[in-house]
Amino acid sequence: MEDYKLLYENLLADYNRYQSNAEMKIQELSKKNINMENKLNSISNIVEIGKYINSSISNEDFILKINDLIVGILGSAYSAIYLVENYNNSVANIRSLKQSKYVKYFQNNQEFRLNSATNLNDVESKEEIHSAIGAPIIIRGKMIGYIVAEHTHINFFTDEHMKLLRSITTQVAIAFENYNLYKKVEELAIEDPLLTIYNRRFFYNEVERKIRMDKSKRFAIVMLDIDNFKKVNDTYGHQFGDNVLIFFADKIKEHLNRGDVLARYGGEEIIMYINDAHDAELVYNRMEKMRQDIVNDYMNIHGITASIGISFYPDNGDKLDDVIAVSDKMLYRAKEIRKNIVVSSMKQ
């Protein structure tokens, strides 16, 4: 009987050990599954972050969208993106790195995690901040900024939060590269690369848009052609010719007002939309003053002058092409007379 009792106890002990080991294994597997799910969720979040950020780069408010995304994923109270001075002035809603209260932590391109019983926020009007994390945005080995997330609770941010922030900064770095590329492509689509003024295609689209907005508004079209440009090119070379074109574009900009549009029409011809043209005589005087400034500049020692033609909408036509055709006609009339003069359709 004692033998059966001992056998029972041994079997029970073995069963209990087996059950305990089985439960431990189940717990281990459960933890592994949870960790795996967390990793998959993190990977999924990172993929979604990348998709979301890069789908928003054409939007001027894409920084606000990124900040909203960070707040949503990390559960933080606030988020901000700081950039080094002059990295990209064309991006809206960006803060300067130097203006950040965390600037002392932006050292050696290191991540940071702060927890404080006292308020980390130096702005009295805001809620108290007791927890913050930050990670650098790195592009081709160079730190161009930081992403900072904040929370009102102390010890809010965990290692997982930091991993996610690290992944977000990588995606944001890619987004900035894509944004810069997008902007360059966008500029090439509307700008003349040599003169950094609008191209002919954009000029047409923009002026047509203005006409659609107000068909009754009077405006002027000005065509300017550089006199003797071929001779200048042949005599001094194409590099000098390019410098002459740049000089003309810069000189014209000095005489344009808000709302005017300047573009390269083709070759050495430049076209202008003059927004305020209610008085044709004032427009003529502005263009005459511009012509005189060109003549009086040191470039005139090479015999470089400008002939200018002016037409008016709707006086010379109710379609843009018609108004430009009249301006072009006035320009060539100026060249026929003696060059280096302004001819207006309102003075014919």
Spatial contact of 245 and 268, defined as CB atoms under 8 Å apart = yes
Architecture per CATH, domain 198-347, reads as 2-Layer Sandwich (3.30)
Distances (CA, A) of 303 to 139, 204, 300: 49, 32, 5
pLDDT above 70 coverage of the chain, percent: 78
Give pTM, 2 decimals.
0.58
Q: Residue 224: helix, strand or coil by DSSP?
A: strand
For the record, the structure tokens of 102 come out as 């965390």
Label the pairing between strands 269-274 and 261-266.
antiparallel
Residue spans per domain, the chain: 55-189, 198-347
Q: pLDDT-derived band of residue 327, with 50, 70 and 90 as boundaries?
A: very high
What pLDDT sits at residue 253?
A: 95
The percent of residues in the chain predicted with pLDDT above 90, rounded, is 44
For residue 81, pLDDT beyond 70: yes
22-31, 36-45, 237-246: which has the minimum mean pLDDT?
A: 36-45
pLDDT of residue 228: 87
Q: What is the mean pLDDT of the chain?
A: 84
Q: What is the DSSP letter of 279?
A: -
Residue of 222, 225, 251 whose CA lies nearest to 307: 225
The CATH H-level (homologous superfamily) assignment of domain 55-189 is: GAF domain (3.30.450.40)
State yes or no: pLDDT of 87 exceeds 90: no
- Decide if 55-189 and 198-347 have a common fold: no
CA dihedral 162, 165, 167, 172 (to 10 degrees): -160
Assigned token pair, 143? 């730190």
Give the three-class secondary structure for 175.
helix
**Radius of gyration, CA atoms only, the chain:** 34
- pLDDT single digits (tens) 250-283: 999 999 999 999 999 999 999 999 999 999 999 9
Helix, coil or strand: residue 186: helix
Query: How open is the CA angle 155-161-167, to the nearest 5 degrees?
Result: 155
The strand pairing partners of 219, in sequence order, are 313
Yes or no: say if 228 and 294 are a contact pair by the CB < 8 Å rule: no
Quote the CA–CA distance of 126 and 151 in Å, as a whole number. Answer: 12
Split at pLDDT 50, 70, 90, the class of 297 is confident
pLDDT at 318: 93
With a cut of 70, say whether residue 168 has pLDDT above it: yes
The answer on pLDDT for 52 being more than 80 is no
Assigned token pair, 232? 């200048």
Measured at the CA of 160, the angle between CA 156 and CA 161, to 5 degrees, comes to 50
**3 pLDDT higher than 70:** no
Least confident interval from 88-92, 149-153, 241-245, 325-329 = 88-92
Q: Per the omega criterion (within 30 degrees of 0), is the bond before 193 cis?
A: no
E strands, 45-141, are 78-83, 95-96, 112-115, 131-139
Mapping DSSP to helix (H, G, I), strand (E, B) and coil, where does residue 242 land? helix
302 pLDDT higher than 80: no
Residue 186 has a pLDDT of 76
Q: 106-137 pLDDT, tens per residue?
A: 777 889 999 988 888 766 656 888 999 999 99
